[in-house]
Amino acid sequence: MAKKSKKSEKSQSCPRTEAFLKVVHELRQKCPWDKKQTHPSLSRYLLEEAYEAAEAMNNLDKVSLKEELGDVLLQVALHSEIASEKKWFDFEEVAEAISEKMIRRHPHVFGDAEVKDYETHMRNWTRLKQKEKPKKKILEGIPKALPALQLAQRYGEITASVGFDWDKTSAVFKKVKEELKEFEEEVKSKSSKKRIEEEFGDLLFTLAQVARHMGLDAEQSLKGSSLKFARRFEKLEMKIKKRGKGIADLSPADLEKEWQSIKKSDSL
């Protein structure tokens, strides 16, 4: 095991946590599958478990959430165990490091600093991050692998925390109209796919900033609309199947009529 810090040695571990870490250690020692895993090979499982936990959160499913958070914790423990075998760090050091970081990043909670609102907190958070890692660029800490809309909104949140933002939401709406016009012009002029794609991306990016200004989550908003579309489409499909037909058997006009009927009943 990696050498524990003095603080870690003084801490009193929870018996259930100790039992859990012992299970993870045994898995690494005795299970053929667990023994062969590495940080890279496990990375996709960490992402999958995180998404499953997020789905349980969105569904307010407390039973599934407990289970999925456990799966996420397992991934953290496995990575910590592998790191411990390499003499890098162990689970307690991971916990200690994040605890110390949260204390440093929240002087208004653990110190005498004052924070009046969310915006002030975000400015202080970014300032403290820059102070801790002065050579790191402001946006560098946001992983590029994030879903695109989430990435756009996070970029906006971080740059806004250092004063780079629109003053009012109305100004962002104005920018949306500008981007929509530019997108339409590229389409009408039959520009290259690359140019059209670029303008479309600019439009989506700006819409993500509208969401941010309004306190919405762009990623969740689109996810909700996508799932709503899927739910309504399934209703449409089943309705037509009951008539002994398939969707392809109806004309576009008939499909639109049925779709509007589904939308109306779905909103009641």
Give the model confidence (pLDDT) of 70-129 as tens digits: 999 999 999 999 999 999 999 999 999 999 999 998 999 998 888 888 888 888 878 887
User: pLDDT band at residue 8, thresholds of 50, 70 and 90?
Assistant: very low
Percent of the chain exceeding pLDDT 70 equals 95
Cβ-contact 230, 162 below 8 angstroms: no
Question: Does one domain contain both 22 and 99?
Answer: yes
Last residue of a domain, which of 51, 78, 105? 105
Quick check: is 138 in a domain?
A: no
Q: Give domain status of residue 57, yes or no.
A: yes
259 within some domain: yes
In terms of Cα–Cα distance, which of 214, 220, 213, 115 is closest to 160? 213
Is residue 53 domain-shared with residue 99, that is, in the same domain?
Answer: yes
Over residues 31-87, the pLDDT tens digits come to: 999 999 999 999 999 999 999 999 999 889 999 999 999 999 999 999 999 999 999
Looking at the structure, do residues 261 and 194 belong to the same domain, yes or no? no
Shared-domain flag, residues 196 and 262 = no
Task: State the residue range of the domain holding 236.
Answer: 224-266
Listed residue (89, 80, 91) closest to 18, CA to CA: 91
Mean of pLDDT values over 193-217: 96
Contacts of 94 (CB under 8 A, 6+ apart): 76, 80
Residues 101 and 15 in one domain: yes
pTM of the model: 0.66
- In the predicted model, is pLDDT for residue 6 greater than 70? no
* One domain, residues 25 and 97: yes
Domain for residue 159, yes or no? yes
Q: Tell me whether residue 67 is in a domain.
A: yes
238 lies in a domain?
Answer: yes
Residues 231 and 204 in one domain: no
In the chain, the number of structural domains is 3
pLDDT at 13: 61
Q: Is the per-residue pLDDT at 3 higher than 60?
A: no
Q: Report, as an integer, the average pLDDT of 197-209.
A: 97
Among the three residues 73, 105, 137, which one is the final residue of a domain in this structure?
Answer: 105
268 pLDDT band (50/70/90 cuts)?
low
pLDDT value of residue 198: 96
- From the list 143, 108, 136, the residue with the least C-alpha distance to 122 is 108
E strands present in 35-154? none
**Which two tokens mark 230?**
């899927």
CATH number at residue 165: 1.10.287.1080
Last residue of a domain, one of 70, 105, 140: 105
Same domain membership, residue 160 and residue 231:
no
Mean pLDDT across the chain: 91
